[in-house]
Structure 1
Amino acid sequence: MIIFDCNGVLVDGKQIAAEVAADELARAGIAITPELVIRYFSGRRPADMLAMIEAVTRQKLPANLSATIAAATVKRLREELRAMPHAAHALTWLRGPKCVASSSPPERIRASLEVTGLARFFNFFFSATSVPNGKPAPDLFLHAASRMGVQAADCIVVEDSAAGVTAATAAGMTAVGFVGGSHADAQLGDQLKSAGAQIIVADLRHLKGAVVALRGW
């Protein structure tokens, strides 16, 4: 089975989400740039991001901030989001079961797949809001494999964050690092390799070849 992260892999909305988070955090008195949001919190659940910010700044954030960020993010995604280049091509040609497993809330995953026309490729998606621990813990990927009836060792995870690759590796799965998003910088590939990615892919047209090289599927 192939497990896809959503934002930064299937859809190119990481910059959008980071801009919304930075704007809402600024309103709450936390000065942070979208670039720093991506650097420090890529792949993590929004609630975990806010908890980490509270711990570092020792500032209590508004109780409704997570919901505010979620609603504002979905609004902008519905207006601006685009599929990652060649995502539909990759999903068309990859055989076997596949699903989405993302740190985003369910409504954001659903909106992202619907807006970009990629929902037709997936019967199942899983959100880290359903498990005790978010990435880099393995909970989400183990949950997805269990629900899909697939052994962890038979799963390949496509991820664009070090937290996600770490989670996949901890789950006993094979990780493919993706660096083709508009947010990706020159260091991302090395970061994903260091986290445990077996192969780095910069173009989703090459994903099938990477999967075949790893598993012969």
Structure 2
Amino acid sequence: MKKGGVIFDFNGTLFWDSEHQEKSWDEYLAAHNILLTKEQKKEYIHGRNGKDTLEILFKRELSDEEVHNYSEEKEVLYRNECLKHKMVLAPGALDLLNYLKANNIPMAIATASGKSNVDFFIDKFNLLDYFAEDHIVYNDGTVKGKPNPDLFDRAIERLGVDKAGSIIFEDSHSGIQAALNCKVGHVVIVNSTNSDYSSFELPIITHFDAFDRGVLKF
């Protein structure tokens, strides 16, 4: 078993898309006459998987077909919003990915996004140049969403690395809690939205160049 690996959340971490997410969610909620405060959106939506979020929003248990249809309705809005803008990875992300690849450091993505969005990201960012397809772990409906650590646990299992020696990059509060629940060696917060992370005693970066690569010498 390799000593450790690097696991990235995607939305808001490798891809700073928070404005696109907010706009598409606002449009979606308005279409369904659902009113949420900023705090409720942070708690109910960001970082969680689709089924959990939708059952909270619609206040009932949903069938798999309903979850798929409601989710895809929202994600079409999101992808259309993304396409209105230049899509680039987060500041310093490509340099770090190239460094990890050149040094044969195992890396994975663990995202609450569904398959349609993951396919979209793979195409737009050429993610398979850096990540094996099996190492892009997403919400396929079989794992609990964040703040449960299941997505990160699955990523670490697929990489075949030691959990205690691994690093997770996250941005959402529920995702950070999931990373802590995973009990990896290091959790790094990526602050892409000038958010308040005072409840966590963790390193915070606003550019991947600020990450201390000395931590990677497992």
Question: TM-score, normalising length from structure 1?
Answer: 0.81
> Are positions 1:91 and 2:100 aligned together?
no
The structure 2 residue matched to 1:37, chosen from 36, 41, 66, is: 41
Is 1:148 the counterpart of 2:152? The answer is no
Structure 2 contact 44–56 (Cα < 8 Å) conserved: no
Q: Aligned AA for 2:125?
A: T
Partner residue, 2:79:
74
Cα displacement string for residues 36-62 of structure 1 (whole angstroms, at most 9, x for unaligned residues): 63465221113222222233xx799x9
> Would you say how many aligned residue pairs link Structure 1 and Structure 2?
203
Query: What are the ranges of 5 or more consecutive residues in structure 2 without an aligned counterpart?
Result: none
* Residue pairs, 1:201-212, within 5 angstroms: 201-207=205-211, 209=212, 211-212=213-214
Higher helix share: 1
What amino acid is the match of 1:74? Answer: R
Letter in 2 for 1:77: C
Deviation at 1:12, TM superposition (A): 1.3
Task: Structure 1 unaligned segments of length 5 or more: list them.
Answer: none
CA apart distance, 1:109: 2.2
| 1:103 matched to 2:112 | yes
Q: Does 1:8 align with 2:12?
A: yes
Alpha-carbon spacing, 1:121–1:34, altered in 2? closer, same or farther (3 Å): farther
2:140 alignment partner, SS class: helix
Residue 118 of structure 1: how far off its partner (Å): 4.4
Residues 104 and 128 in structure 1, CA contact (< 8 A), matched pair in contact too? yes
- What percent of counterpart residues are identical? 24
In 2: Cα distance, 1:35 partner to 1:18 partner: 13
| CA spacing shift, 1:119–1:77, aligned 2, 3 Å | farther
The whole-number CA distance in structure 1 between the counterparts of 2:177 and 2:195 is 19
2-structure distance, mates of 1:117, 1:39: 31
Distance 1:32 1:59 in 2: 19
Name the structure 2 match of 1:158: 169
RMSD, matched Cα: 2.6
